[in-house]
Chain A
Amino acid sequence: MNQLLIISFFKTKASWIGLASIFFAGMLSLYFGGLFIEETQENERRAILLQKENIERNVQHHPKDIGLLLYYQKFGLVNQVSPLASLAIGQRDISPSIQRVNIRNLEEQKYNSRLANPVYQLIGNFDFSFVLVYFIPLVIIALCFNMISEEKEGGTWALALSQTNNTKGMIRAKLLLRYSSILVVLVLLLIIAKFYLSIPLNQKYAAFCLVSVAYVSFWFAVVWWVISFHLSSSKNALVLLTIWVFLNVIVPAAISGIVSLVYPIPETFGTVVKSREGYHNKWDKEKAPTIQKFIKHYPQLAQYKHPKGARFSWFWYFAMQQMGDDEASAQSRELQQKVKKRIRLSENTAMFFPSAHTQLVLNSLANAGLQNQLNFMQALEKFHERKRLYFYPKIFSQTASTTEKWDKHTLAKYEEQSEVNWLQLLWPLLLGIGICLGAARLNQRKFYHL
């Protein structure tokens, strides 16, 4: 009997079209993911070269005045891209993966955006997570919506029933057949991805694969539940598609809407105004208070002085720059708090909706979520602070630029380190599966009264 089911499944053109379309869409997504990673790495190479050339030129132009050199010189920090980002690009195409900053005030630099076509950003990427979250459920629906109803409507149901005593078992076998064939394609894609995109076999990749499998399983559980009502083919299709639209269109869009309504971020405006004032108005003020505040911030620099009566010194200049950051710091912290709140609200709400949850989880496994952007921004702050503190004494004691070992100021890297929280990744999906299977059980009797 099962053999017959297998033959009939693979003899149907639609089955092949469905499986092949997942495979091709998946391959296409891997290709584009690969391009994205390549571009990111290419940019990194460019940045390494640029920084080297830049330093050489600046040292040549300003061999003595290290203060002036550092007024111009930018140092880059790379937000190391994870190989998994080729599968889930996430927010990586929105925020920059490299930030280049000079040691002047950071607030004016750290929000610098990526150069990109906004229309294309709106349409979004064709990455593996898109294929998985959006596309595969549709194929599952297309392959399963008329599993029983088709036979009923085609008049072969009685014939099929006469071949077996276990109706439910037969339906289950039909579904499992579809389930396993889609899993085979999915696993095949993940294996190809591993080699094609050279993804290391580690915990994160394992989690990525497991979440993908759980997500596909969730959709089969949904299908199992819906067909347990024994509706007509058209009704099945309508119900399943409505569920898809609800989970994949309405819910995520609504969460985004709620987040921006509940946590608007006027702080983005506030910080730029504050940091600009903080620095620029010091030109018009007495120098002493600025310097006092600076020394209060960095007591270790108290030994340096502004030459009495001088119109200008780098000491005073960088103290002014520091005020730009210091006076905006309250607003800036507020902004980061808001971002944290946004992350928490999105994640907590998404937990109850498998599609949204899966997308967020895949992004975060690929270090491509909003949390990663926030971490990178904080890493940039630390990086900038280190550079500052390293150079301040040199500038203030007027060391010649040429004495610095510039070779060691190469492009720096930030790599996010995070643990996989298996329970948090999987329980929303497992719960979803459980609910659907449980609900299907309530309809169980129908399987015997056909």
Chain B
Amino acid sequence: MRSNHIKVFARQVLVTKLKTKSVVYLLLIFNLLIFVSLYTEFRVRTQDHHHVEQYSKEVRQRWENNPDKHPHRMAHYGYLVFRQKYPLGFFDPGIHHFLGNVVFLEAHQQNPINSSEASYSSGLLRFGYFSASMLLQVLVPLLIFFWGFNLVSQDRENGTLKIVFTQGADWRGVLWGKTLGLYLLAMLVFVPALIFSLLLVWFHEASLVNSQLMSRLGLLFVTYGLYFFLMAALAIYVSGRSKSSRGALITLLGIWLFFSLILPKLATTYGQAKYPAPSKIAFDIKVEEELLKLGDSHNPDDPHYQHLKDSVLAVHKVNSTDQLPFNYQGFVMKEGEKLSSKAYNKRYEKLLQIYQKQNNMLRLAGIINPMVAIKQVSMALAGSGYATYDDFRAQAEKYRYSLAQKMNDLQIKLISNVRGKRIQGKPDILDKSHWAQFPDFNYRFLSFSQILAQEYLSLLVLLGWMLGLGLLVHYSKSLKVI
């Protein structure tokens, strides 16, 4: 009986809304906006992807084509790594614009990842970026609130609700039915967006489509689906509770503003004050202090390296480093790289912990704010979230370290201790074939399960909200009919 009511109310909402011209116009406008944003962002991403591929290839070729030379020259020649974006970035560009895109990897030091889009953008970027995710996360809920604020309250105001109840309907039927109708209306925006995204994925990047990507996309769609249902239920519930349509509208708009605009800003501003992150200069000073403590591998009188030298000479039972069976300079640099990387990573780890705490502050806000929760989930799944970026940085640093140490190893093994003496080929320089043997930077994206492990909390929050609202609607007998 009730399921019948639900169907009737849902159909009634859908049919009456679709008869209204403004609703149809809005549907068209939103579909158009989403199409345009998906397509343009896809174009931008594809372009970017080509640039990354093209320049990465060039860097690799140049690396391999380096002539015979001393391996430490190669360690300074270093490598350029360009940040690849996950193919779903076109759906949600997340923090892409604020992330550096290229990093120069070389021995002895960790360079920043530079040239973010934001550093070449005007202040307008801070208003947000035109993307499907922005439209879906922020504006579609507003649309749902516009359409739904008076769905129950108006019926009460004009007395229809009274009649409906005398005909055997109850609150659960009314609320669920109207929620469903409103939800289906929202689906007229979301489903086309979904189909269009799928088409873009399928037709243009066939090589990138794999089960990982499809799982991410699948969960992305499910999450958004849940999110819209949440928003529809919220709109209907508020409409049912409010004394008047106007009151319902004001409440819903208040909720929207608070969720989308005010709470995230307050959370981050508070997070910044509570967990202040060091500026670049403060961080550099700390790193330098750590490095000074370690000693200076370039300084022959440095106590740490003096000690190292003595012990190496003792083990090999020789008097001078020239008599060692390996290249001592390379050995020292290897030790130096190890120590300085460790010191840097220790400092960076601390910085990351601060960022983590700051980001958790935002996640915490997500518990009372489904708009933040969906943002987190969406970014993570689209590969444009914080975890993905940090993973990229870590992989690049790992590659830098292995490059520097590989070159040190080559020097230790193949370069003579005595300048001008040769071990193989020409003195002091190595054959270029060694360069090609060092593998290219092979960036791997986080797996689906790693992403889930990062953002399960936000997913739970959305489910929790759904459950909470469900219970509210289910036990909503006390609402007023008249």
Contacts and interface: CB of A to CB of B under 8 A. Distances in A.
Chains A and B are bound partners:
yes
Contacts of B245: 234
A123 interface: yes
B123 A90 contact: yes
A238 interface: yes
Contact of B123 (A261, A273, A369): A369
A412 B125 CA distance: 30
Contacts of A123: 264-265, 267-268, 362
A268 B40 contact: no
Residue with the greatest number of chain A CB neighbours at <10 A, chosen from B33, B43, B73, B282: B282
B273 interface: yes
A397 interface: no
Given A257-B129, A272-B102, A113 B261 contact: no
A396 to B, nearest CB: 22
A264 interface: yes
B62 A277 contact: yes
B70 to A, nearest CB: 9
Contacts of A248: 127
Interface string A86-125: 0000110011101010000000100111111111111111
Contacts of A350: 124
B52 to A, nearest CB: 8
A122 B102 contact: no
Contacts of B69: 283-284
Contact of B95 (A98, A115, A122): A122
Report the interface size class on chain A: 35 or more
Interface residues of B, number: 95
A439 to B, nearest CB: 20
Contact of B277 (A91, A116, A250): A116
Contacts of A254: 130
Given A253-B127, A272-B102, A50 B281 contact: yes
A339 interface: yes
Interface string A6-45: 0000000000000000000000100010010001000100
B190 interface: no
A272 B246 contact: no
Contacts of A28: 269
B127 A252 contact: yes
Interface string B116-128: 1111111111111
A248 B267 CA distance: 21
A43 B126 CA distance: 24
B32 to A, nearest CB: 12
Contacts of A233: 246
A207 interface: no
B253 interface: yes
A445 interface: no
A255 B122 CA distance: 10
B264 to A, nearest CB: 5
Contacts of A146: 246
B288 to A, nearest CB: 8
A373 interface: yes
Contacts of A280: 73, 76-77
B37 interface: yes
B200 interface: no
A268 B102 contact: yes
A281 B126 CA distance: 41
Contact of B281 (A46, A61, A257, A339): A46
A94 B116 contact: yes
B361 to A, nearest CB: 9
Contacts of B142: 241, 245
B73 A283 contact: yes
Given A252-B124, A276-B104, A343-B122, A115 B246 contact: no
Contacts of B33: 250
Given A265-B120, A342-B122, A360-B123, A130 B265 contact: yes
A94 B118 CA distance: 7
Nearest to B266: A126
A370 B120 contact: yes
A346 B99 CA distance: 21
Interface string B164-205: 000000000000000000000000000000000000000000
B115 interface: yes
A120 B272 contact: yes
B138 interface: yes
B120 A342 contact: yes
B138 A249 contact: yes
A261 B73 CA distance: 39
Nearest to B246: A233
Contacts of A298: none
Interface in A123-146: 123-126, 130, 134-135, 138, 142, 146
Contacts of A108: 104
Given A122-B95, A122-B98, A256-B125, A112 B362 contact: no
A261 B51 CA distance: 14
Given A130-B265, A342-B121, A269 B82 contact: yes
B467 interface: no
Contact of A117 (B116, B121, B264, B359): B359
A93 B134 CA distance: 22
A44 to B, nearest CB: 9
Contact of A115 (B94, B111, B112, B358): B112
A94 B264 CA distance: 19
| 6 closest cross-chain pairs (CB), A and B | A252-B127, A257-B130, A268-B115, A253-B130, A346-B122, A115-B280
6 contacts: A91-B119, A91-B123, A117-B359, A122-B94, A126-B269, A368-B123
Given A98-B280, A120-B271, A270-B55, 18 more contacts: A61-B296, A91-B122, A94-B118, A112-B111, A119-B359, A120-B358, A121-B95, A237-B250, A237-B253, A238-B249, A252-B128, A256-B125, A256-B128, A256-B129, A264-B44, A269-B52, A342-B122, A356-B124
Interface of B: 33, 37, 40-41, 43-44, 47-48, 51-52, 55, 58-59, 62, 66-67, 69, 73, 76-78, 80, 82, 94-95, 97-102, 104, 111-131, 134, 138-139, 142, 146, 149-150, 245-246, 249-250, 253, 257, 261, 264-269, 271-273, 277-285, 296, 299, 351, 355, 358-359, 362, 385-386, 389
